[in-house]
Every structure is written in structure tokens, then in C-alpha cells.
Chains A and B, each alone.
Chain A
Amino acid sequence: MQLEKILTAGIGELDLCDIAVYREQGGYAQFERAVKELQPAAIVDIAAKSGLRGRGGAGFPTGRKWQFLPNNGRPRYMVCNCDEAEPGTFKDRMLLEYTPHQIIEGILIGTYAIGSRHAYMYIRGEFKRGYETFMKALEQARAADYVGERLFGSDYSVELTVHRGAGAYICGEETALLNSLEGKRGEPRLKPPFPAIKGLYGEPTVVNNVETLGYLPHILRRGPEWFAGVGTPKSTGYKIVSMSGHVQKPGNYEIPLGLPMRTLVYDIAGGLPPGRKFMGIQPGGGSSACLFEEHLDLGYDYEALAGAGSMLGSGAAVVFDDTTDFVKAAHSLVRFFAHESCGQCTPCREGGNWLEMTLERMLHGRGVESDVDMLVDVSHSMTGINLCPLGDSIEPFLASVVKRFPEQFYAYVRTPQTAVAV
């Protein structure tokens, strides 16, 4: 199946890290046009009209997010979130390493649009190569006067500061990211106040994902109607999906939203390895619930996935075939979230670790029958009562696979015995 490539156009064919190549493709023209011809408010309108929603996980409408900024005369900041660490997600990394100028242009347009003069790029600590690529691209952009003082003869000046994380998944959560940027402990802030009101250094701030910002030059070039015309009415435009797990062609695919999941799995990602049977798909990152055979004809979009009790999240789809041990799969995810809990909230800090230890005990053959119910019960108790969404990330997958494959869990505890500590 042939897909139109937008953000991913040229990747693997052109050296888009070279500013000259990027410009040949029309690069930076939209930023220049924005500064020279468009009022910031007009760009906010365009973003709103396009229906673009945040690609970082929450799917919040981008234009609306920008409109929340108060007109209080204070400095404001644009922060690009490139901390990508959601299990299964690897799209931002690709953009960073192969098409950094597109990100820079997206950041610059977004920064201009919200009336800011200072943007921050927060890069996941492990992305060493991406960081270096990005820094080189930034130097080129600076040398070409896309970043700096009085751009294109206007009185608009903009600075772009790059910051590297230190390996904490939680720093991808926008307020933890802001704390980390400020040099504080990377833990989410209590909301309200939201970053739009009180963000970086206490000033109005927008945090946007790499992919979200990356679409801006394209939306400016081709018009909001073009973007809004793709996908479904509420899930407009394109989305990069990171396909992994038991598929023949794992990788990043840019699809129009609303594409049936069956097409995604079988046509685009090459289907399952020969002789394997489809058992489930986790469609939107580690914190999304598992979906099954009966869901495969649903469209891959925000509403359809939410309607099925899962979510699109960051667009990381993991496919499971009939060789999957769902107890181990659940254990692996629970361990991840327990390890990445910042520890501020009681339920997340304690509950994650408890579930991890329980699953570990089961895997060691020391589980008891009541453990299976307890997994569901405890993961449910810890959900919906935390400060940030990380604490709510364990239940969806765990509960969905226990419900679907109870026999796999009971298999680990089939011989009744009393629980023993590991």
C-alpha cells in the first residue's frame, strides 16, 4: 500500500541534515513567510483549523492549547518535548536523527505563533547521536539567520536553547520536564496551575511534541483545510506509528489517521511471522490497554481507540502473536512503570512496586490463586488517584490481558499453595 509521506518524506533518500538539501525541499520558507507575512494570531488560527492534536500522547488540540496563554505581558516560552521514552515509541528519535531542520522550523513557527522569543528543545539523554545531529543543524540554522536577532529584517528575534535529559522517563511528562529544565528534581508539578499559566520559570509556557511541531511547516504550506481533510473529523491529518512486536516489517510508518488497524498490521507492517496467530495489539504505547482480534477493523484514530477502551497515545503499536506469554509481557511493563515512578504519589510509588513483586513471585512459581484477582484489584485501586498519568499507566494493559487470557495467569499459580515471599 502506497502512503503519502509528509514528515517522513525524504528520509532514507536525502541528506536532510544538510540545511541546503532541506531548503531545496522548501525548508524554512514557511518560517520566513510566517515572520514576514503572518500575524502570530493567524498561525494560531491555522493550527486550530487544521485540527492538529498533540502527538506526544495526550492528543490535546494544539491550537486550543496555544489559545490558553494569558495576555499578561509576561515573557512566554515554547518547549519542544523530545524526551521520547514511552515503551514502543521511536518516531521522535527518527525525526531527530534524519530530519532535524524540520523540527527546528516547526519549533520556530510554534514559538513565533505563541508570541514567544525563547524556545527550549529537551532531548532525551540517551539520544546521543540525535543530539549531535540536532546541534549541527542548529548551528547551520543559526549561521543562516533562522535563529537569532531581527530575523528577515523584522524586529522578531528568537533564541533556541537545547537541554539534554538524564534518562528519566518521567521527564517526558511536561511539568516534570519543566522542573528538569529549571535544574530541579524531575518530578511532575501539581496542576493547576497549568503550564499555559505558570510554566517554565513561572511564566506562560507551551510544551509540544516533536512530531506535533513538525507538522506546522506543512500545514502552513498546504493550508489547514488540507490537513483537516485527511483522517476523520476529530482525528485529522497524519500520524507516525511506531510498529513493533510480532510483525514482519517493524518500523515507523506515517499514516492518515483513521486507517483500519488491520491494514496497519497486515498491509503496512507486513503481517505476522508465517504460521503465527494474532493475539492482540497494544496500540498506543505502554500505558494503553491491549486490543484484540475483534478490534482490528477499527480505525487507528483517537476516538475509535478510546471507544474500544484503549488509546492512541504516542502512536506506538506493539503486536502480540500466539507465542506471547502475557504474564511476562505484563511483568515487563509493570517493572518499567514501577522503576520510572518518581515516587511523589503514594499509589504510584507503592502500588507499582507491589505489582511488580507480585508478578515476579508468580513467575517464580510462588503465586497463589488470589494473586490474579489481586493484580486487577490493586492496579485498579492505584488508578485515577495520582498526580500525573504515569501512576495510571499500569492498569490498562494488565487488566486487559488478565481479563482476556486468565488461563495464562492461572497457569502460573495452578498448584494451590500459600504465598511465600521471594
Chain B
Amino acid sequence: MTTQPSVKTVTVTVDGVSLSVPEGTLLVEAAKQIQEDIPVYCYHTKLGPAGLCRICLVEIEKMPKLQIACNTVVTDGMVVHTASDKTMEGRRAVLEFLLLNHPLDCPICDKGGECDLQDFSMAYGQGASRKVEAKVAKPKAVDLGPTIVLDEERCIVCQRCVRFDDIITQERSLVVKDRGHRDIIATSTEEPYVSDFSGNVTELCPVGALTSKTYRFKSRPWDLNRTKTTCTQCSVGCQLYVDERYGDVLRTMSVAEDETSDGWLCDRGRYNIGFYNDPQRIASPLLRRGDEWEQIGWDDAVALWARQIREARDTTGPESIGVIGGGRLLNEEAFLLQHLFRSLGVENLDWRAGRQTVATPVFSGTYEELEAAQTILVFGVPPSQTAPVMDLRIRKAVVQRGARLVTVGPHSSGSSVTETHVRRVADIPSDAFDAERIAVVFDGIDATPMRDLHERFAELKRAGKSLIGFIPGEQPNARGAEAMGMLPRDGGRGTREVFSAAKDGGIRVLSLFGVNPALRFADGALATAALERTPFIVLSELFLTDTARFASLVLPAHGPFERDGHVLDMTGRVQRLFAAHAAPGGALSDGEMLVALADALDIEIPSPSALTARARAPEKRAMPRGEIRAAAPGGEAALRVIIRSDIFAGGGTVYHDERLEELRPRPIATLHPRTAQALGVAAGDLVDVIAGDRALRGLIVRVADAASEGTIRVVDGLPGAPANVLFDGEEVQVTKLEPAAPLAAAGAVAG
């Protein structure tokens, strides 16, 4: 038995209440045990003390001056008065100072109603100002970047935003400029404030200085209906609050105490909320009539779907039926999906629809463990673009805990912290494996490096080291889908084989759930050929995506905040979703569609309670076979293409969120300066990237030192510029478009 090193406790008396807390506790934290918190502005549990605002002053016996609670470590026997006359006078003075130059434009301030300056002024302030001079005027409605507006007059210079950008994201673009009462918040470079985590500063800001463009002048907090749910924009599984009014999702907020997200949200999760009521959202089942869509009722739609499935099974057999989906479904739905089709003898079941081939790591770890790792090995697409909030853990591990970050493959991390970047597994510095706690982050795409390191990993395990794996994949619930059985077994075909068969006419009915292989499948040409040849495709979706072009029947589904149920995050933790928004009347959840289909096919399904139980108790699955691609042809390729994810890419919810216009990636090809020079292209040129008879057309050249020489980096998942016409890592040629062509090309891209 091991005994924990005993943590000494100290006893402190706060307002007459005796509190026992671990040695080293800050007074501001200790006092949270009593009724009324000590007010703070600059202090934040995750940012630590800064000692700037001085609102947290308290009286401590035996100390002549008031002390700030945020930087006072409690000691045994300390006696604190948080509401004495002296304390109150200190607070009153600080608030008077804060309000001297504050515009008090509460009636038009988004923070009104949840503003710490309002609240503390009401609680501790005085009624009227003694200042007669005009207030200091500063810029208002400053366009800080694509997401944030700043009102310098409202800013109380608590520096929380600056410290978040420094301590948490390590990006350091926000600074305090100028001095004294003239100081303002700005970016160090005068460039826009661009960060994938920018929205967090609007929550940290205790006043209405930093506001989200998406939420400006939209509502008052007391008019919002709040629901706590799980973000399913990626596989991290952050908890968030969804604030809705009159059927509109107006904003999302982080959950401070959430262990998954550590209290932060990325901008994709936070801001991609404008699509729910988009006019292009499908509102009823659509049946293809030539080039037209005909709206039909659900009964007809389900009957048609059931009839197609039955006919296929009875004539060409269950192997002529395919099902792809699950990574965007709830566990309940994924389980129901495979149950239903397996009951029909169908084994062509797979959640994989893009590049990702595996979702469940052999050795799972928690995010807390990731943070404690000493070596973090990242393979493939960097998590900054697939699981942003997880990347914050990596940054924390590196900066605050001294972990070593090693990225392997063609991508460097895209993170803001120091990394060692190597191209090949063989180049991983061998002392990286000397650490006791090693975390492996793998994009789940090309499993070759995992196979190559298999022996090494086994050895580390034998040596008793902590080795944990994370697969931040492309779909939020891929791991749940795997655990619920949405993988082929017993001779069934996976997505690639289904597509190969379909290309040759071997698939009659293909049911797709929230997947967009036309844009996302790694072999775009194969996917397109397969979809073209398949006679009957049913697609459950929110929008008419690139894949919908091939569908016979499109079924309107529920979006992320319209779902009730469970998913697994990438660590295997069960996360709960609560519906926060009513889906359009014509839409059904995938679960409801499946229940209706089961009914039409006379298939018995588990009761709702049995389903829920199943969804909460996922099977532990060994790592399924990740695909090993043929090693990219070695030797002297002049130019290889690297396909990179971007959190704001995709043909679905971001593409149909008009508020995110500015954030959507443009079709850009990134080249190293020397590579650009060798190709004779310059920044801003338009180029085609060609491989044999396939081409990705009309890309805008960007030149960046950070790019690898001899590569051209393109963005995955852009409607109008589908990178999946190319194979990641293949040799390509580049042709520059003549100056006359750009307009046409740009038009093609925009379309």
C-alpha cells in the first residue's frame, strides 16, 4: 500500500468562519468556501494572480494595510475580514477609480446584466461620481480581428485577455499599449487579432470591452435560455452552454469546471452556431426527380427507403447494401444503425468516410494525463487544426510542465510552442523515449508509423512506462461509432471496399449518415465514381452537400445542438448531449429515422432504455486495422502535395454559417519561398495543382517560411476546391494560370 504524501492543512478564519485548506492555498480560493466570494477582476483561477485591479482588498488582522486576497497565501491562524468597514472602504475607492473614466454605456453594452463592474458597483460602490471633468475618450468599436470587437473605454485593464493570450495560448499577440490612464489593449503587430481561441477573451473580460461579433447587440443575458451540452464539432468533447432565444442559438459559453475542456472553447466550437436556421437547411425529405428535388413526406420517404433495401437484399443480396456513417451520430444511433442493418444480414458497415482510418487508440489516456506527459509525439495532421482545445493541453504540458513536443511527418505542429519536427519515424530523437510518461497523438490517418513503432511501444510498456494514445480524428464521435460496432466484421466491407465494389456496380443501396465522401474521402476520384454508379443513395444531412449531388433521397436530420443522447470523446469518456435548440419541424433525428425504418422493415430494436444503457457502456475495442498506405514513392519527386486540415473547412455547418464568412479558409496553396521561386510563382498567383489527369484548380499561392521545401500545402475539405482529387503526399505538377484566367478561376472557386 502506498501512502499519499500528506498535504498539510492550515486553518484560517474568514469573517468568523474557520476554514481548513491545504497549505499554499490563495486566500481568494479559500474564501470561496464562505457565502460571499471576494470580488475579483484581474484574478482568474486559470490565469493566476496579477495584482492589478485591487478590488480584492481585504483586511487581515496584524497587517496594517489592506491586502489583496488574490496574491495572499493563507497561513495558519490568519484572521480575515472581507466585509469590515476598512475592506468596504477599499472596495469603494477602487470602484470609484474604475468608474472615473468608464463610459457607463450599459444600455447598449452586451455585457449588461452579467457584468462584474455593474454587479460590484451595485454591491460595493457609491452612487455618484465626484469627478466633474470629462471622461477620457478612447476608441470605441475597434475591429480587433475577424471575431472580436473591442471598446477601449470600457476596458478596465485587468489584462486577463493579454494574459490568456500569453499564458494559455502562448500566442502573445495581445498587449497593453501606452501607459497610465492612456493605456489601451492592442495587438503587438497592429495586425488583426487572429487566434483559434479568440472567443475565450470575451468570456474572460469582466466588462463589455471585448465582445463577439456574432453576439453583438443580439440579446440580454436574462432573456436567454441556457442548456449545457457537449460540443460535437470535433472529438475533444468540450462541455459548453448553449444560449438560445426565440429559437435562435445566439451564443455558446465555456463551462469553467469542465475537466474535458479545462474551461476553454475553440472558435469553431464557439462560433459555428449560425447555420441552424439557415434558409438552405433542408426542411423536409427530398426525392430526386432528374435534376430537381421534390419535397415528399416522411412516410413516403421511409417506405421508399425500406423498399429499396428489401429489394436489394432479396435480389442481389445483403452484400449489395452499404452503410456509411456513425462518426456524427450519437452512440444510441450508431448502435441502432448497425443493429438494424446487421439484422438484415448487411455487414458493409463503416463509419469511415474521409481520411481517418482508426479512432480507438490501443492505450487510452485522459486529457489530464496528456498534460502530465514528459514527451508528446505527434504524428500527422497537427491537433491544433483537428482538436484545438486539446492542443491547449499540449501547449500547457510544454510550457508549464516542461514536456518535449516532437512532431513527426510532413506537418509541423502549427502550435505556438517549441517543438522538434522530424520528417521520418527513424529521425525521432531516441532520448524522446527516455521519458517516463509518453503520450502519442496520432491523426488516425496513416497507421504506418504506428506499425513501425509497434515494437518500440511494446518495449516501453514492458519497461513499465506510461504510454498513452490519442486519436483526434475528423469526426466527433468516431470512437463512439467504433465502440457501437459501426465497423465491418464477418467478411463485411469497409468504406474503401464498398466504394471499389460500387464503382463496378456491386452496390445497389447506399445509406449515408452525416458524411460527405465526395468532398472528404481520401480517394476523391474513387468516391465520386462509386457514388455515380450506385443506383440508390440515401443521405441524412442538414444541407445539400457535394455528396447530395449523387443522392436519390435526402433526409433532413438534427444538428449538433438538437440532439439528446451520448457520445464518446476521443479519450473514451462518455459525454452527454442535451438538446438546446428545436430542430426544424420537418427534420427527424437519425435515431427517429432509424426507428421508422426498422418499423417499415419489421425489425425488432432495443427499447430506448436498453439503447441508453448500451450508449453509456461502450465496448472496449482493440485497435481495428488502420490502413497502411503504400509508402509514398520515394526518390526525387520535385514537388509533393501535403493536404492539411483547417478547423474552419468543410462543406457543412461552417459553409452554411454566414457569420463565419471571414474565418472560412480560402483555397490557398502554401509554398516555401525557394520552392515558389523554383516554380516561378509568387504570392497571389493562381495555380492549378495537377497529378496525371486529376487537378485541383485555381488555388491562390501563399509563400511562407514555415512551409517545407519541395512541398505544396493545400487545405482539405473546401467545397469548390476539393483537395481529395489528389492523394496526400503524391507527386504533383503546378501550372500558373495566365493573368486573363484568374477571374474565371476565382469564380469557379467561389462556386
A and B interact: yes
Q: How far is the CA of A168 from the CA of B178 in the complex (A)?
A: 12
> Complex Cα distance A378/B134, Å?
18
Alpha-carbon distance A378/B183, docked complex (angstroms): 21
Q: In chain A between 217 and 275, which residues have their CB closer than 8 angstroms to a CB of chain B?
A: none
Q: B123-166, CB under 8 A of A: which get 1 and which 0? A: 00000001111101000000000000000000011010000000
B71, A190: Cβ atoms under 8 Å?
Answer: yes
Tell whether B682 is near chain A: CB-to-CB under 8 Å. no
**B342 interface contact, C-beta 8 A:** no
Q: Is the CB of B180 within 8 A of A342?
A: yes
Shortest C-beta distance, B314 to chain A (Å), equals 75
Does A386 contact B54, Cβ atoms closer than 8 Å?
yes
B133 and A385 contacting across the interface, CB-CB below 8 Å: no
Residue B94 at the chain A interface, CB threshold 8 Å: yes
Q: Chain A contacts of B50 at CB under 8 A? A: 190
Cβ contact within 8 Å between B176 and A343: yes
- A333-361: contact bitstring with B at CB < 8 Å (1 yes, 0 no)? 00000111111111101111110011001
Complex: how many Å from CA A386 to CA B50? 12
Residues 56-99 of chain B, each 1 if its beta carbon lies under 8 Å from chain A, else 0: 01000000011000010000000000000000011001101110
> A190 to B100, alpha carbons, bound, how many Å?
25
- Quick one: which of B66, B101, B156, B159 contacts A384, CB cutoff 8 A? B66
Q: Roughly how many angstroms separate A354 CA and B181 CA in the complex, as a whole number? A: 10
Give the chain A neighbours of B224 by CB distance below 8 A.
none
Whether A385 lies near B53 (C-beta < 8 A) is: no
From the candidates A347, A349, A421, name the one contacting B93 in the complex (CB within 8 A): A347
B32 contacts partner chain A, Cβ-Cβ < 8 Å: no
**Chain A positions 75-122 with a Cβ under 8 Å from a chain B Cβ:** none
A352 and B180 contact, CB distance less than 8 A = yes
Total contacting residues, chain A, CB less than 8 A = 35
Complex contact A346–B94 (CB within 8 A)? yes
Inside 8 A of B399's CB, which chain A residues have their CB? none
Residues of B within 8 A of A381 (CB): 89, 93, 96-97
A9: Cβ under 8 A from any B Cβ: no
Chain A min CB distance to B186 (Å): 12
- State the CA gap A345–B94 with chains docked (Å): 9
Kindly identify which residue among A343, A351, A358, A382 contacts B179, using a CB–CB cutoff of 8 Å.
A343
Q: Is B435 an interface residue (CB 8 A)?
A: no
Within 8 Å of chain B (Cβ to Cβ): is A276?
no
Q: Which of B94, B97, B101, B183 is the most central at the interface, judged by chain A CB atoms within 10 Å of its CB?
A: B97
- Which one of B52, B66, B132 contacts A387 once the chains associate, using CB atoms below 8 Å? B52
Q: Do B54 and A421 have beta carbons less than 8 Å apart?
A: no
Interface string of A185-220 (1 = CB under 8 A from B): 100001010000000000000000000000000000
Contact B157 A421, beta carbon cutoff 8 Å? no
Cβ 8 A contact of A350, one of B51, B175, B181: B181
B133 x A361 contact (CB < 8 A)? yes
Residues of A with C-beta under 8 A to B182: 343
Which of A340, A357, A378 contacts B133 (CB under 8 A)? Answer: A357
The contact string, 1 if C-beta is below 8 Å from chain B, for chain A 358-381, is 100100000000000010001001
Partner of B54, one of A185, A192, A340, A385: A385
Closest residue of chain A to B70, judged by CB? Answer: A190
Chain B residues touching A, range: 35 or more
Contacts of A350 in B (CB 8 A): 97-98, 100-101, 181
CB distance from A383 to the nearest CB of B (A): 9
Cross-chain contact A190 with B132 (CB below 8 angstroms) = no
B66 x A344 contact (CB < 8 A): no
- Within the complex, the shortest CB–CB distance from A193 to chain B, in Å, comes to 10
Interface residues of A in 22-58 (CB under 8 A from B): none
Q: Tell me which of B89, B97, B176 contacts A185 (CB under 8 A).
A: B176
Q: Does B55 contact A (CB under 8 A)?
A: yes
How far is it, in angstroms, between the C-alpha of A344 and the C-alpha of B183 when the chains are bound? 9
Alpha-carbon distance A339/B90, docked complex (angstroms):
23
Give the residues from 25 to 69 in chain B that come closer than 8 angstroms, CB to CB, to chain A.
Answer: 49-55, 57, 65-66
Q: Hey, which chain B residues are within 8 Å of A143, CB to CB? A: none
Given A341-B179, A346-B53, A387-B52 in contact, is the A421-B97 Cβ separation under 8 Å? no
User: In the assembled complex, how far is the CB of residue B147 from the closest CB belonging to chain A, in whole angstroms?
Assistant: 25
**What distance in Å separates the Cβ of B205 from its nearest Cβ neighbour in chain A?**
16
**What 0/1 pattern do residues 389 to 422 of A give for CB contact below 8 A with B?**
0000000000000000000000000000001111
Bound-state Cα–Cα, A420 to B134, Å: 10
What separation, in Å, do the CA atoms of A385 and B183 have in the docked complex?
20
- Complex-state Cα separation, A382 to B90, whole angstroms: 9
B180 touches A341 (CB 8 A): yes
B476 to chain A, nearest CB (A): 40
Given contacts A343-B157, A346-B94, contact A190 B181 (CB under 8 A): no
Inter-chain contact A347/B97, CB cutoff 8 Å: yes
Report how far A346 CA is from B159 CA in the complex, Å: 12
**CA–CA, A283 to B55, complex, Å?**
33
Q: Which residues of B contact A341 (CB under 8 A)?
A: 179-181
A168 contacts B65, C-beta separation under 8 Å = no
Chain A residues within an 8 Å CB radius of B179: 168, 340-343
Chain A residues, Cβ within 8 Å of B98: 346, 350
Partner of A349, one of B130, B131, B132, B183: B183
Q: Chain A contacts of B89 at CB under 8 A? A: 381
Closest to A374 in B: B130
Chain B hits for A340, CB < 8 A: 179-180
Question: Which residues of chain A come closer than 8 Å to B100, judged between CB atoms?
Answer: 350, 353-354
B529: min CB distance to chain A, Å: 58
Task: Tell me, rounded to whole Å, the shortest Cβ–Cβ distance linking A152 to chain B.
Answer: 39
Establish whether residues A421 and B134, one from each chain, have CB atoms under 8 Å apart when the complex forms.
Answer: yes
Return chain B residues, CB-CB under 8 Å to A349: 97, 157, 180-181, 183
In the complex the two chains form, what is the Cα distance from A422 to B176 in whole Å? 28
Q: Are A385 and B94 in contact (CB under 8 A)?
A: yes
CB-based contact B180/A343 at 8 Å: yes
Bound CA–CA A210/B145 (angstroms): 46
Q: Assuming the A-B contacts A354-B131, A374-B130, A387-B52, are A346 and B97 also in contact, with contact meaning beta carbons closer than 8 angstroms in the complex?
A: yes
What is the CB-to-nearest-CB distance from B181 to chain A, in angstroms, rounded to a whole number? 4
For B57, the chain A residues whose CB sits under 8 A away are 385
Q: How far is the CB of B189 from chain A (nearest CB, A)?
A: 15
User: How many angstroms from the CA of A358 to the CA of B66 in the assembled complex?
Assistant: 26
Complex: how many Å from CA A185 to CA B15? Answer: 38
Q: For the complex, give the distance between the alpha carbons of A350 and B97 in Å.
A: 5
CA distance A394 to B185 in the complex (A): 26
Q: Which of A338, A340, A344, A347 has the most CB of B within 10 A?
A: A344
CB distance from B136 to the nearest CB of A (A): 8
Judge whether B54 and A345 touch: CB under 8 Å. yes
Q: Are A346 and B156 in contact (CB under 8 A)?
A: yes
In the complex, what's the smallest C-beta–C-beta distance from B96 to chain A, in angstroms? 7
Complex Cα distance, B52 from A387, in Å, reads 7
Alpha-carbon gap, A41 to B678, bound state (A) = 64
Shortest 6 CB-CB contacts between residues of A and residues of B: A350-B97, A381-B93, A190-B51, A343-B183, A419-B132, A341-B180
List 20 other contacts, CB 8 Å, given A190-B71, A192-B71: A190-B49, A190-B50, A340-B180, A343-B176, A343-B178, A343-B182, A345-B51, A347-B54, A349-B97, A350-B97, A350-B100, A350-B181, A353-B100, A357-B133, A378-B130, A382-B97, A385-B90, A387-B54, A421-B132, A421-B133
**A positions within 8 Å CB-CB of B:** 168, 185, 190, 192, 338-347, 349-354, 357-358, 361, 374, 378, 381-382, 384-387, 419-422
What are some 11 contacts across the A-B interface (CB < 8 A)? A185-B176, A192-B71, A341-B179, A341-B181, A346-B53, A357-B131, A357-B133, A385-B66, A385-B90, A385-B94, A387-B51
